[in-house]
């Protein structure tokens, strides 16, 4: 049995099955093949999308790298790929300290008076067991969104990508060893994670971090890759 797939529109698949029927005539040396076709069509519906924890609260009592909360990701998403799921803040209310010679990056948690910032990192199971990545801010002047590159090597984007599917990206296809055409190649560029899973948030609380209430809105969005 041969199977041939073709996409006709977003979320719709047509599958044509060619059924080969062999008819045996006597004597055994004489064979005739009759091919018949059965046309099958249908739709794959939306799986509904991902859902996230609505809020995270924390209380830090000492300096150092502190886990400040976890975001549970549940559900399924079967949108047309390539796509990335990225996380960022958009701290437009960050003002920094009045009269300061240098204004730090607004990426992270911001004190309620808008003067101070607490850098924020995140861990996703898609990163591997030990990797943490910085959560960027959309208003940073050097913010660079993800673009696929035809060659292997370090990506030049600043997006913090939690999950993604992009078979065009040579880095992702190459797999953990960084070499194309080896046994660990990820041919779909598939960096999705079975749900439910947790995103872990971590803040680097320096000894001179100002005592204050800090807050931010984390934006987690799925973006079709260009």
pLDDT digit string, tens, across residues 8-19 = 344 443 444 333
Which pLDDT belongs to residue 151?
66
**Weakly modelled stretches of the chain, pLDDT under 50:** 1-25
pTM of model > 0.75: yes
User: Residue by residue, what is the 3-state secondary structure of the chain?
Assistant: CEEEEEEEECCEEEEEEEEEEEEECCCCCCEEEEEEEEEEEEECCCCCEEEECCCCCCCCCCCEEEEEEEEEEEEECCCCCCEEEEEEECCCCCCCCCCCCCCCCCCCEEECCCCCEECEEEECHHHCCCCCEECCECCCCCCCCCCCCCCCCCCCCCCEEEEEECCCCHHHHHCCCCCCCCCCCCCCCECCCCCCEEEEEEEEECCCCCCCCEECCCEEEEEECC
């Amino acid at each position: 049995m041969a199977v041939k797939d073709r996409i006709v529109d977003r979320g719709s698949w047509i599958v044509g099955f060619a059924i080969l029927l062999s008819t045996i005539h006597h004597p055994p040396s004489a064979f005739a093949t009759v091919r018949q076709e059965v046309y099958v069509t249908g739709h794959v519906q939306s799986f509904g999308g991902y859902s996230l924890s609505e809020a995270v609260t924390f209380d830090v009592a000492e300096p150092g790298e502190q886990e400040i909360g976890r975001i549970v990701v549940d559900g399924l998403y079967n949108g047309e790929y390539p796509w990335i799921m990225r996380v960022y803040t958009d701290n437009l209310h960050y003002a920094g300290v009045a009269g300061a010679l240098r204004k730090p990056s607004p990426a992270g948690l911001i004190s309620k008076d808008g003067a101070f910032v607490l850098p924020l990192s995140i861990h996703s199971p898609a990163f591997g067991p030990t990797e943490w990545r910085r959560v960027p801010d959309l208003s940073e002047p050097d913010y660079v969104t993800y673009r696929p590159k035809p060659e292997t090597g370090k990506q030049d984007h600043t997006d913090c990508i939690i999950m993604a599917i992009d078979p065009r990206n040579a880095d992702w296809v190459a797999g953990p060893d960084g070499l194309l055409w080896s046994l660990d190649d990820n041919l779909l560029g598939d960096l999705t994670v079975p749900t439910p899973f947790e995103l872990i948030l971590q803040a680097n609380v320096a000894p001179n971090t100002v005592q204050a209430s800090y807050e931010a809105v984390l934006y987690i969005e799925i973006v079709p890759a260009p």
